[in-house]
Amino acid sequence: MRNVILAGNWKMNETPAQARRLLEQLRESLPKTSHEVVIFPPYLVLEHAAKAGFVKVGAQNCHFEEKGAFTGELSLPMLREVGAACVLVGHSERRQYFAETDETVRKKIAAALAQDVTPFLCVGETLPQREAGGYLEFVTGQLEAALAGLDGEAVKRTVVAYEPVWAIGTGVTATAEQAQEVCAALRGWLADRYGKEVAQEVSILYGGSMNAKNAAELLKKPDIDGGLIGGASLKPEEFASIVKTANEVKGGAR
Ligand code: PEP
């Protein structure tokens, strides 16, 4: 059985003091769950959040090299040492604003797996790509490029997040049917390439304006194993409510 994962991407929000407060509010709000709850806070509070110990903690980015002359970057060994269990790779904001390419995404995924840090690979089409109709080929192409060179065992240790670019931070959510169609296509591609057993073990999340109101409908879909949540993860009550919804829809209350 694959993991149900509720992950909050705090992006470049919250000063360290604010982030520590947010974390405490989250500790008080979160329901008991057997699902995996992950936050991706700003680097400056990553160690603090990891030490708090009640959620898994990940980094929002990484460099693929272990060390060297890459001013301003952080390596996976550094991140792992301060408690990062996961890392976001290929988020559309990084592809759009920081020139992240399929090739750098591929290198980061391989580097994360080598350091035993779980990569959360983000894929998703833009609005023109959706309207042009080739979006399933586009997102499976992103998956293929990111996983090139990995075997099935490595792929099983990767989490995939389908995040249509047109739904991120826009308040426009993909319908549950639209999200399910793409998540099923991604799982189908994994099954064709690595076999059914591998495909059944990879958690595939939906991300894009997920909130307390639309979470149930999305999480009811069979190929949606959780959410990658931006804006709503900055509101502890709302994020907690999404976790509660996952308990109700997928089972998992403890
Ligand atoms: C994200 O950035 O991964 C995201 C899904 O953001 P939002 O929920 O704000 O659309």
Q: What is the mean pLDDT of each run of 10 residues along the chain (254 residues)?
A: 95 98 98 97 98 98 98 98 98 96 98 98 95 95 98 98 93 92 98 98 97 97 98 98 97 83
What's the structural domain count of the chain?
1
Ligand 1 nearest-atom number relative to CA 163: 5
The predicted structure's pLDDT at residue 254: 74
From 92, 95, 229, give the residue whose CB has the most ligand 1 atoms within 8 Å, as the site to mutate: 229
The predicted structure's pLDDT at residue 169: 85
The predicted structure's pLDDT at residue 171: 84
**pTM for the structure as a whole:** 0.97
The predicted structure's pLDDT at residue 252: 85
Q: Which helix (H) or strand (E) holds 27?
A: helix 16-29
Q: What is the 3-state secondary structure (H, E, C) of 175-207?
A: CHHHHHHHHHHHHHHHHHHHCHHHHHHCCEEEE
Domain that holds residue 180: 5-250
CATH number, domain at 245?
A: 3.20.20.70
Query: 170 C-alpha to center of ligand 1: Å?
Result: 9
* Closest to 60 measured CA to CA, from 238, 182, 233, 246: 233
Smallest CA separation from ligand 1 atom 8, residue: 230
